[in-house]
Structure 1
Amino acid sequence: MKSVLTAAVVAASLAAGGAFAEGKTHYVAIHVDENDPQVMNMALNNVVNVSKYYESVGDEVVIEVVAYGPGLNMFIPGKSPVEHRISAMSLELDNLSFAACGNTHRKMSEKAGKEIELMSEADMVTSGVVRLIELQENGYAYVRP
């Protein structure tokens, strides 16, 4: 079915006198705000499935996983139930990045009485919510597993 649709799109584009541009780039923001291994694994499954799909149709995809609130546990070494998956996926997927909420991190650190370490794969942003807003304003599709 996919190849029939792709062929139809190409034919329609050529018939209309347009050039068919293959290799579109898609942008996806995935939101994690729960300290739930199922939710975290679902988010990472979404990353893998979306990456494989777009690769199979000749497109590219840029994915950012944004975690805040209880979801920030996803990026805490020794505490994250998906720590090894994140490390492996970071090495395998050039199109994937991780954003950790600075507000949540500051509050967790204050509560713990020490600086909470985050996985090296996660980049700190000022606010997870603001990061999601910025990504959506820049054309990212929003996914919440």
Structure 2
Amino acid sequence: MSEPIPDVSRRGFLAGATALGAPAPAVPAVAQHRAGIVVLIDRNDPHVMGHAISYSGNLTRHFASLGQTPAIEVVANGTGIDVFRADKSPLKEPLAALRQMYPHIGFSMCASSKSIAESKENLTIQLIDGARLVPFGIGRVVELQRKGWAYVHG
């Protein structure tokens, strides 16, 4: 029997986990050690994008004050992929600075959303330095949640 999918608040942390990163009770000990924080950007809105990036830095500083360094992954999905596009990102320089200051923060772009945008725009989209592709952005978010990661919506 598979594990139940956790109840997720659209604008908050994974239900059952505290804001301090405590894993949900059903998460095995191995996953608890590797758990981190996933931040979703799902629309092309510079305000939303900026908040998501700010959250990543603030979470890093918060946990550093507790002597911890959680893994953090920012996932761009749908029209939010513009944040990691080399040709369109409104936050190219802040993202480069964030990656340099906090190399444990990962950037993932939905390959499906990228393919759709490339088809519509008739071009090949290049990613900013440090960003990688994942097959489906929302699938990556759920995959990480099932491993005990906290979820934050940008």
TM-score, normalisation: structure 1: 0.80
Select between 127-136 and 114-123 the one with higher mean Cα deviation: 114-123
* Partner Cα separation in structure 2 for residue 77 and residue 42 of structure 1: 19
Q: Secondary structure in 1 aligned to 2:72?
A: strand
1:128 alignment partner, one of 123, 127, 137: 137
SS at match of 1:143: strand
* Residue pair 2:118, 2:125 contacting (<8 A) in 1 also: yes
Residue 142 of structure 1 pairs with residue 151 of structure 2: yes
> Which residue is 2:74 aligned to?
65
> Residue 97 of structure 2 aligns with which residue?
88
Query: How many residues end up aligned between the 2 structures?
Result: 122
Deviant stretches of 4+, over 2 Å: none
Q: Which amino acid aligns with 1:58?
A: G
Q: Which residue of 1 aligns with 2:27?
A: none
| Corresponding residue for residue 97 of structure 1 | 106
Q: TM-score, structure 2 length as denominator?
A: 0.75
Whose RCO is larger (CA < 8 A, sep 6+)? 2
**What is the rounded CA distance, in whole Å, between the counterparts of 1:137 and 1:76 in structure 2?**
28
Paired residue type of 2:153:
R
Larger radius of gyration: 1
Letter in 1 for 2:44: N
Does the CA contact (< 8 Å) of 1:86 and 1:121 recur in 2?
no
User: Does 2:120 correspond to 1:111?
Assistant: yes
| Cα 1:34/1:68, change in 2 over 3 Å | same
With 131-140 and 115-124 compared, the bigger mean Cα shift is at 115-124
Please point out which of 44, 48, 51 is paired with 2:57: 48
Residue matched to 2:41: 32
| Whole-Å separation in 2 of the counterparts to 1:132 and 1:26 | 13
CA contact (8 A) 1:26 1:60 kept: no
Aligned partner of residue 60 in structure 1, secondary structure: coil
Q: Aligned with 1:108: secondary structure? A: helix
Q: Contact 2:73 / 2:105 at 8 angstroms: preserved in 1?
A: yes
Distance in 2 between residues matched to 1:34 and 1:75, nearest whole Å: 12
- Matched residue SS, 1:63: strand
Stretches of structure 2 that go unaligned for 5 or more consecutive residues are 1-32
